[in-house]
Amino acid sequence: MKKVAVILADGCEEIEALTVVDVLRRAEIKCDMLGLDHENVNGAHGIALTCDGLVDEKILDYDMVVFPGGMDGSYALRDDQDLAELMVQRHQAGKWNAAMCAAPIAFARYGILNNSSYTVYPGMNIDIEAEITNGTYQDELVVVDAAQHIITSQGPATALAYAFAIGEALGRDMSGVKHGMLYDLLAQKIK
């Protein structure tokens, strides 16, 4: 069974974290919520989140590690040196990693967005361009860089598309989950 870790820090964007967890569990992908500093995390909008465990070297064993956005949470992820070292090891080993909204700024700081195509919350690409030596920003809802094993997305409204892209990158057919969640209708009826 594929395993995903969603890394949560205080100030994370709750919809981006929980949408990924919900969608992947519906797709029968094991998905653990891991706290950066503690198991009880306070989201950006005052929602209390209880994690399954804490970040440690075991994240090297996950098929994918996912970062939700939220400014404070993203900066906490970006500035954690132990996490940075683990994420660089994952990237060098060819493991999948994903970040959305403001969180790609952490990947930029770690150096794992170099030579990658990516997206980020609109306007934050300027901050990322200051951190990386070579990368290609794409103004898309979700960007999957299969060669670099990196998935990025723009923000709260793109959380479902991001979660489906994560499942698909792990080899799961997400069409049944999309249909069951009425995602196919969303594209037809959204205004």
What is the CATH number for 132?
3.40.50.880
Determine the pLDDT at residue 119: 98
Tell me the pLDDT band of 190, cut-offs 50, 70 and 90.
confident
- In this prediction, residue 186 carries a pLDDT of 86
Say whether pLDDT at 191 is over 80.
no
d(CA 125, CA 104): 9
pLDDT at 54: 99
User: In sequence order, what are the beta bridge partners of 48?
Assistant: 42
The parent domain of residue 94 ranges over 3-189
pTM: 0.97
**Chain CA centroid to CA 103, Å:** 7
Confidence of residue 188 (pLDDT cuts 50, 70, 90): confident
12 catalytic residue (yes or no)? no
- Which among 122, 74, 123 is positioned nearest to 99, based on CA atoms? 74
Structure confidence at residue 187 (pLDDT) = 77
- As a three-state string, the secondary structure of the chain is CCEEEEEECCCCCHHHHHHHHHHHHHCCCEEEEEECCCCEEECCCCCEEECCEECCHHHHHCCEEEECCCHHHHHHHHHCHHHHHHHHHHHHCCCEEEEECCCHHHHHHHCCCCCEEECCCCCCHHHHHHHCCCEEECCCCEEEECCCCEEEECCHHHHHHHHHHHHHHCCCCCHHHHHHCCHHHHHHHCC
pLDDT digits (tens, 9 = 90+) for 120-167: 999 999 999 999 989 999 999 999 999 999 999 999 999 999 999 999
Catalytic residue among 12, 31, 51, 101: 101
Q: How many domains does the chain have?
A: 1
pLDDT score for 51: 99
For the stretch 60-110, pLDDT in tens is 999 999 999 999 999 999 999 999 999 999 999 999 999 999 999 999 999
d(Cα 69, Cα 17) in Å, to the nearest integer?
8
Backbone angles phi, psi at 153, to 5 degrees: -150, 165
